[in-house]
């Protein structure tokens, strides 16, 4: 014996092993799919649990997305009122207007002169008679500025306000964005809540798959022992379980997508009715194709993760004796 044959190496040549590696992956992937069909009731139950668990975070995602969509149109409602110093001539005010109009942050500008303001105040306030006793018009002229879309966010609008207040003709300005800030804070809270719930549900998915795989491992204990006896590596033994986990995830993800679509379809009618009463048109946007792909990818990753954790913990404990 010139050279001892290495007893801890595979006997096949490298190229053959690489080709067989992929073929085996496909085979084991397919056969674990077949394995799921062999016990359809329990498989479908598990997949349904996963589908429902995943549909909740996905539904919340749809909710956030649509809420953002709606509030986007409210953002531009921010308006800045500038109160002009008394005693400024009409001419200087007109020059201020043209200067402001030239700002790239500004979308539209409208001007209410002192007389117009007084007139409007008399009309709306009910103090009409009393005001006529005044010697002088106490009201300042007002310039209303609507920021361009880029500067319509609370911070952007505030920046613009500061800039406008630096104009010498401007006494002070007011920005009514408190409600907008509150709305945005509310949305942020909603988003965070959604994230927290999503994390919990995702965890549930991992645990459900982990437990399902654990049962599968226990069921096939003898088979695993025999495989170890005849020289199967851990990687070889665990692969079908990992594929099973991935299949659970994929099908659970698709199920979640179907549930979401059904939900959106169900709610869309009710929403259209509501919006009809407000004379507005708004439809719910469901998950896009990209989001479906992301959902399924995430779900299959979770499936893999769940089964990997389970396999790591339980496969090692099974040794032939």
Partner 1 sequence: MIQFEQVSKIYPGGQKALMDVNFHLRKGEMAFLTGHSGAGKSTLLKLITVIERATAGRVSINGHNIANVGPKHVPYLRRNIGMIFQNHHLLMDKSVFDNIALPLVIEGFSHGEIRKRVAGALDMVGLYGKERHLPIMLSGGEQQRVGIARAIVNKPPLLLADEPTGNLDPKLSMDILRLFETFNDSGTSVLIATHDLGLIARMKYRTFTLRQGRMLGGESSSRETMR
Q: Which residues bind partner 1 (CB under 8 A)?
A: 4-5, 7-12, 16-17, 20-21, 23-24, 222-223, 225-234, 236, 319-321
CA nearest neighbour of 295 among 59, 30, 69, 65: 59
Q: In the complex, what is the shortest distance from the CB of residue 227 to partner 1, in angstroms, rounded to a whole number?
A: 7
Q: In the complex, what is the shortest distance from the CB of residue 297 to partner 1, in angstroms, rounded to a whole number?
A: 29
20/274 with CB nearer partner 1: 20
125/233 with CB nearer partner 1: 233
40/269 with CB nearer partner 1: 40
163/228 with CB nearer partner 1: 228
User: What CA–CA distance (Å, rounded) separates 208 from 211?
Assistant: 5
User: What CA–CA distance (Å, rounded) separates 191 from 4?
Assistant: 65
176/234 with CB nearer partner 1: 234
Question: How far does CA 63 lie from the centroid of its chain?
Answer: 9
Sign of CA dihedral 162, 167, 172, 174: negative
Q: In the complex, what is the shortest distance from the CB of residue 26 to partner 1, in angstroms, rounded to a whole number?
A: 12
User: What CA–CA distance (Å, rounded) separates 143 from 82?
Assistant: 5
Q: In the complex, what is the shortest distance from the CB of residue 34 to partner 1, in angstroms, rounded to a whole number?
A: 13
User: What CA–CA distance (Å, rounded) separates 58 from 3?
Assistant: 61
202/224 with CB nearer partner 1: 224
Q: In the complex, what is the shortest distance from the CB of residue 314 to partner 1, in angstroms, rounded to a whole number?
A: 16
Residue 126 backbone dihedrals phi, psi, to 5 degrees: 90, 0
Q: Is 171 exposed, middle or buried (0-12, 13-18, 19+ CB in 10 A)?
A: middle
Are 152 and 181 contacting, i.e. CB atoms less than 8 angstroms apart?
A: no
Q: In the complex, what is the shortest distance from the CB of residue 305 to partner 1, in angstroms, rounded to a whole number?
A: 23
> Rounded to 5, what percent of the chain is helix, strand, coil?
70, 5, 20
Q: In the complex, what is the shortest distance from the CB of residue 75 to partner 1, in angstroms, rounded to a whole number?
A: 59
Residue 103 backbone dihedrals phi, psi, to 5 degrees: -60, 140
251-271 as b/e, with b when 16 or more CB fall inside 10 Å? bbbbbbbebbeebbeeeeeee
24/174 with CB nearer partner 1: 24
């Amino acid at each position: 014996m010139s050279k001892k044959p290495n007893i801890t190496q595979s006997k096949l040549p490298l190229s053959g092993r690489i080709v067989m590696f992929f073929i085996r992956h496909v085979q084991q992937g397919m056969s674990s799919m077949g394995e799921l069909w062999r016990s359809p009731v329990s498989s479908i139950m598990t997949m349904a649990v996963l589908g429902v668990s995943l549909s909740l975070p996905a539904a919340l995602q749809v909710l956030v997305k649509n809420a953002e969509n709606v509030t986007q149109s409210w953002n531009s409602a921010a308006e800045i009122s500038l109160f002009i110093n008394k005693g400024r001539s009409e001419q200087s005010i007109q020059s201020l207007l043209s200067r402001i109009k030239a700002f790239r942050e500004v979308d539209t500008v409208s001007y209410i002169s002192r007389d117009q303001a007084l007139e409007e105040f008399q009309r709306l306030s009910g103090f009409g008679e009393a005001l006529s006793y005044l010697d002088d018009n106490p009201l300042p002229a007002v310039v209303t500025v609507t920021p361009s879309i880029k500067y319509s966010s609370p911070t952007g609008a505030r920046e613009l306000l500061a800039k406008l207040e630096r104009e010498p003709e401007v006494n002070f300005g007011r920005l009514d964005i408190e409600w907008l800030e509150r709305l945005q804070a509310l949305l942020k809270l909603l988003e965070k809540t959604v994230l927290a719930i999503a994390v919990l549900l995702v965890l549930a998915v991992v645990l459900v798959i982990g437990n399902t795989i654990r049962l599968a491992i226990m069921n096939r204990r003898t088979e695993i022992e025999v495989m170890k006896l005849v020289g199967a590596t851990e990687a070889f033994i665990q692969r079908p379980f990992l594929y099973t986990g991935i299949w659970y995830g994929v099908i659970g993800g698709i199920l979640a997508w179907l549930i979401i679509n059904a939900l959106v379809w169900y709610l869309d009618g009710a929403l259209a009715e509501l919006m009809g009463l407000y004379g507005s048109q708004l439809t719910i946007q469901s998950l896009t194709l990209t989001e479906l792909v992301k959902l399924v990818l995430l779900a299959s990753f979770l499936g893999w993760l769940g089964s990997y954790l389970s396999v790591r913990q339980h496969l090692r404990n099974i040794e032939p004796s």
